[in-house]
């Protein structure tokens, strides 16, 4: 990014110009999501839908080892009238959708509990690695509300409609191993191996041609919302975007010259 916004409850670690770690930074309340956290997500991720600059990948995780995020801060919501609740929820939606719409890949490294909105934000990422002790749930139905940061849609796309209905309608928690079995989590790892593995994969992505990476992400994400014939046509449009790039020429030259390519994102 060209300029870093002022953040309240997110901690940003710039590993290098291409890779960034973003942490929910309220460990004293298990990284519960208050209004300011959602504003931070919108302020940080919103511009990345259009201008990622040199950035090529993001790892999203939680501070501490107890929680990725325990979900919405219900203490903050205590006593809110209906209008205030609606206004706050609009901010929550904006934050979640900003993560979902980020142009560069976002990897969730779920280091503990991911409940409610925390689970939904993990699902907004492109894929998920989880520590063995991590737990997930969409318990909103037990509080008289429902998932409202994409969860009814992203969970169903990850695990299938019937499994997602069971989880959302009961609010029952599930383990990282169950989430992996159902297709929601890519890998389950010992806690100490979680961030090294997430960074290993992020760095592999960063070494690849960034325009190609973004076009693949776009083709898959939007294509899955289309019928197959329309999705194939959209894939070709995304492919066309890579043909005239310097990176395409560099990739072919590097292959023929038996060296690693030096992609520049143009």
pLDDT (tens, 9 = 90+) of the chain, 266 residues, equals 567 889 999 999 999 999 999 999 999 999 999 999 999 999 999 999 999 999 999 999 999 989 999 998 878 888 889 999 899 999 999 999 999 999 999 999 999 999 999 999 999 999 999 999 999 999 999 999 999 999 999 999 999 999 999 999 999 999 999 999 999 999 999 999 999 999 999 999 999 999 999 999 999 999 999 999 999 999 999 999 999 999 999 999 999 999 999 999 99
Rounded CA separation 34/13 (Å): 21
Is there a domain that residue 264 lies in? no
Q: Does residue 147 sit in the same domain as residue 217? A: no
Is there a domain that residue 2 lies in? no
Q: Does residue 228 sit in the same domain as residue 131? A: no
Asked if 45 and 91 count as a contact pair (C-beta separation under 8 A), the reply is: no
DSSP class of residue 5 equals P
Residues facing 188 on adjacent strands: 130
Rounded CA separation 119/63 (Å): 16
Q: How many domains does the chain have?
A: 2
Asked if 168 and 151 count as a contact pair (C-beta separation under 8 A), the reply is: yes
Q: Does residue 178 sit in the same domain as residue 224? A: no
pTM: 0.94
Q: Catalogue the active-site residues.
A: 120, 140
Q: Does residue 190 sit in the same domain as residue 237? A: no
Asked if 124 and 147 count as a contact pair (C-beta separation under 8 A), the reply is: no
Q: Does residue 122 sit in the same domain as residue 213? A: no
Among the candidates 164, 179, 206, a domain finishes at 206
Structural domain including 226 reads 208-256
Q: Does residue 179 sit in the same domain as residue 217? A: no
Rounded CA separation 258/195 (Å): 32
- Locate 154 and state its tokens: 């992203």
What pLDDT score does 5 carry? Answer: 87
Asked if 99 and 125 count as a contact pair (C-beta separation under 8 A), the reply is: yes
Phi and psi at 155, nearest 5°, equal -65, -45
What pLDDT score does 211 carry? Answer: 96
What pLDDT score does 27 carry? Answer: 94
């Amino acid at each position: 990014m060209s300029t870093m916004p002022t953040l309240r409850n997110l901690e940003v670690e710039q590993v290098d110009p291409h890779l960034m770690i973003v942490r929910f930074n309220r460990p004293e309340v298990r990284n519960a999501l208050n209004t300011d956290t959602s504003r931070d997500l919108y302020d940080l991720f919103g511009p990345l839908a259009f201008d990622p600059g040199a950035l090529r990948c993001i790892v999203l995780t939680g501070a501490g080892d107890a929680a990725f995020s325990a979900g919405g801060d219900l203490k903050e919501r205590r006593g809110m009238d209906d209008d205030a609740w609606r206004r706050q929820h609009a901010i929550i939606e904006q934050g979640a959708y900003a993560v979902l719409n980020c142009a560069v890949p976002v990897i969730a490294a779920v280091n503990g509990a991911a409940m409610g909105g925390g689970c939904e934000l993990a699902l907004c990422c492109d894929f998920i690695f989880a520590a063995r002790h991590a737990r997930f749930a969409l318990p909103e139905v037990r509080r008289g509300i429902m998932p409202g940061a994409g969860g009814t849609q992203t969970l169903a796309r990850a695990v299938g409609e019937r499994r997602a209905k069971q989880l959302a309608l009961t609010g029952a928690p599930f383990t990282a191993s169950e989430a992996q079995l159902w297709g929601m989590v890519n890998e389950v790892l010992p806690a100490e191996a979680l961030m090294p593995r997430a960074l290993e994969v992020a760095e592999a992505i960063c070494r690849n041609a960034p325009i190609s990476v973004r076009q693949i992400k776009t083709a898959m994400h939007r294509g899955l919302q289309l019928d197959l014939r329309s999705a194939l046509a959209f894939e070709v449009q995304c492919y066309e975007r890579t043909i005239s790039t310097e990176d395409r020429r560099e990739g072919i030259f590097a292959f023929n010259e038996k060296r690693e390519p030096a992609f520049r994102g143009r």
